[in-house]
Chain A
Amino acid sequence: MPTENSNHGADVKAQSLSRIYRMGDSLIPAVDNVSFSIESGEFVALLGTSGSGKSSLLNLIAGLDTPTSGSVAVAGRDLARMSREELARYRRSTVGMVFQAFNLVPAMTVLENVELPMRFAEVPRQHRMDRARGSLARVGLGHRLNHRPSELSGGEQQRASLARALVNSPSLLLADEPTGNLDSRTGAEIMGLIHSVHQEGTTVLMVTHERPLAERYASRFIFLRDGKLAPSDPAEVSA
């Protein structure tokens, strides 16, 4: 789905970004004073062990969570300063998200799942079907439009999820362990699709704990350990 946005990937700048969760009396710094930047059109892999704060950082960049302190700016706009309504608008227009657990709505068909973000974006009804079909065709799922997610294989579900993430033509694609629930062959197919999205100019930030995957597709790595940025250390990040 090449559109205007696809050619202008969003840049990401994090400045002293912190997210501290409160668990009873204790404070848990999931993201601790992290600063980094991702250039427009880059493919960056976010690596770290389980519980290192990768997903928390991704949620902050996705605008699903708000930082305790610091700032994170996407395409020049500071998410920390946005209202909840503005964050929702940001999520539906700038960001596309792919999850490890696919997160499709089980009651809806594949086509309806892909159509859903366009309902929130108030895309006119007559355009929605075309765009949804186009997006599904692109991920190779044009023949399973009216199936429910439960009727699909894991790989197919992740394709549908990717089609949904791309349908509003985001400038930033956030992928949280997109191959985590897939066998290596289907995982490679999904990564191929993400790679093609990146090649059209979309900035991609992928959370993974699989070092080889990251090395194959990403142009740059960010390592996290205990919520802090860590220097590149293959021994520590390999799963």
Chain B
Amino acid sequence: MKAGDLVELAGRNLRESVLRNSLTTVGISVGVASLVAMLSLGIGLQHLAASRLAKSGLFDSIYVTSGRRMEGPRGRRENRKGPPPPLDEPVRKKMADFTGVAEVYPDVRFPAELRLSSAAPQSSASAENASTASTSPDTLSAGQSANGREYQLISGLPMSARQLETFDNMKGKYFSASDAPEVILQTDEAKNLSDKPEDLIGKEIVLRYASRHLLKDPGATSSAASEFGAASELSVYAVTPNESKLKVVGVVETKADAGIRGAGSAGAYVPVDLALKLEPMQMTQVRLAGDRDPLANSYGALIVRVNRSSQVEAVEDKIKQLGYNTFSLLDATRSLRKFFAILDLFLGIFGSLALAVASLGIINTLVMSILERRREIGIMKAIGASDGDVQKLFFAEAGAMGVLGGSLGVLLGWAIGRVINLGTRVYMERQQQFTPDDVWLVPLWLVLGAVGFSIVVSLLAGLYPAARAARLDPVQALRYD
């Protein structure tokens, strides 16, 4: 029998006992809907967690330090043969070329004093009376300007840090370039500068910090070196106070989590390349200020960001082979991924249970149908239907119920998901402390997969009835009333 005839006859047979077949089909659709609902919840939650984690910057970054200063457990210094490799620019480039590495940037953190600039050049009105800016109503109150000084931790961030959750709800803009003389303030810290931190956007502030730079004068170098009684190749640094004018481009509400890429809870952020240009004396360098430091040109630490958190392990191994110390939160992501794999499995099993019950419904319906249509099967065989024709016919009926039930089920599951999404959104908005997110996610593969799975399950359920119908003895069947 041709496929077209098969479908036509199957459709006719399904319509003949429309109530029973509809109920069976609804059973399948409920099964598929529960499967879709369960799996899309799992997928949605995983997606939510993954995007949150990616935004936290905790799980796709490796913190790299030179092997030298890292202390082992219980304060023991790790024993290494020979001098540790420097953590300098060539090494940074080398790491950036590793497969899976998105970027490598130095971890720059330094304390600085933030003061309001006496004039705000961006404002044309204040530009004219720059000398009397302190009395200008346009600039912030003079008293506060004088008193508004505070030491804060300044952190250098790459352009890619824009994606961090910290900057999700920022006011103003992110840095325009990685060496732009711009600064983003943290609200609480900025309150020392102004009652309304948002008003600072567009204003100019002065950054006062300790600059640490190499003494270029060879005489000074040698004299300083001899003063320390060190070898001639030792570098000598001068630490001098410095100032830099920066434009406030943004204000962030939340403090960055003390993560790797969040670079600690800093009071203000500057672009990383600008931070390097400023040559500030960093936190890690304070105690080495007067130290003999053969690794003068090296960074205190590098942050390696990988494309996917699954690549952390491989990249970390490579970096370790170069002789550096690394730190990452790899194990956390691994157990998290494991958790979601198990969650998906269980949601899938629970979702499939309803479908399994529905498949029993198919078997039941078709077996009933065989009993009812025994004589009809006998007639069909007597006028030339082969065993295969009869088998295919019952198979087609099971498949049709699978297609209908599957499609209906996906729609139903999708609708349930929409309702739940709406509900969670309203709830989250009421709670006000969460940004509303979709916990329900129905990707296309799930839609197609669910319909396909429903057809496969239906066909499997049709296997036994179809075989039974095909085996029916036509002589017996024709005698049946």
Contacts and interface: CB of A to CB of B under 8 A. Distances in A.
Interface of A: 59, 62, 64-65, 84-85, 88-89, 91-93, 97, 99, 103-108, 116-117, 119-122, 125, 164-165, 168
Those 8 A-B pairs whose CB atoms lie nearest each other, nearest first: A92-B384, A88-B386, A120-B384, A117-B383, A119-B5, A64-B474, A91-B384, A103-B379
Nearest to A91: B384
A205 to B, nearest CB: 15
A36 B449 CA distance: 61
Nearest to B375: A103
Contacts of A64: 381-382, 474-475, 478
A227 to B, nearest CB: 15
A121 B388 contact: no
A103 B478 contact: yes
A168 B382 CA distance: 13
Contacts of B2: 119, 122
B380 to A, nearest CB: 7
Contacts of A117: 383-384
Contacts of A99: 382, 478
Contacts of B13: 107
Interface string B380-416: 1111111111000000000000000000000000000
Looking at chain B's contact residues, the main secondary structure is helix
Contact of B380 (A62, A97, A116): A116
Interface residues of B, number: 26
A125 B387 CA distance: 22
B387 A97 contact: no
Given A88-B387, A103-B478, A125-B4, A120 B382 contact: no
Interface string B355-393: 000000000000000000001101111111111110000
Interface of B: 1-2, 4-5, 9, 12-13, 16, 375-376, 378-389, 473-475, 478
B387 A168 contact: no
Given A107-B12, A120-B389, A125-B4, A97 B383 contact: yes
Nearest to A115: B5
A103 B477 CA distance: 11
A59 B384 CA distance: 13
A14 B335 CA distance: 77
A199 B145 CA distance: 122
A10 to B, nearest CB: 15
A59 B476 CA distance: 11
Contacts of B382: 62, 64, 91, 97, 99, 103
A164 B379 CA distance: 11
A107 B16 contact: yes
Contact of B1 (A106, A119, A125): A119
Q: Which of B5, B379, B381, B474 neighbours the largest number of chain A CB atoms within 10 Å of its CB?
A: B379
A92 B383 contact: yes
A64 B387 CA distance: 12
16 contacts: A64-B382, A84-B386, A85-B387, A88-B386, A91-B382, A91-B384, A92-B385, A93-B384, A99-B478, A104-B379, A105-B380, A106-B376, A107-B13, A116-B380, A119-B1, A120-B386
A120 B388 CA distance: 11
Contacts of A91: 381-384
A92 B380 CA distance: 10
Contact of A88 (B4, B5, B375, B385): B385
B381 A121 contact: no
Contacts of B384: 88-89, 91-93, 117, 120-121, 168
Contact of A85 (B5, B379, B388): B388
Nearest to A94: B384
A237 B380 CA distance: 32
Contacts of A104: 379
Nearest to A105: B376
Contacts of A119: 1-2, 5, 9
A117 B380 CA distance: 8
Contacts of A85: 386-388
B386 A89 contact: yes
Given A64-B382, A116-B383, 4 more contacts: A88-B387, A119-B1, A120-B380, A121-B384
Contacts of B5: 119
A120 B387 contact: no
Nearest to A114: B383
Contacts of A65: 473-475
A62 B12 CA distance: 28
Nearest to B2: A122
A117 B474 CA distance: 15
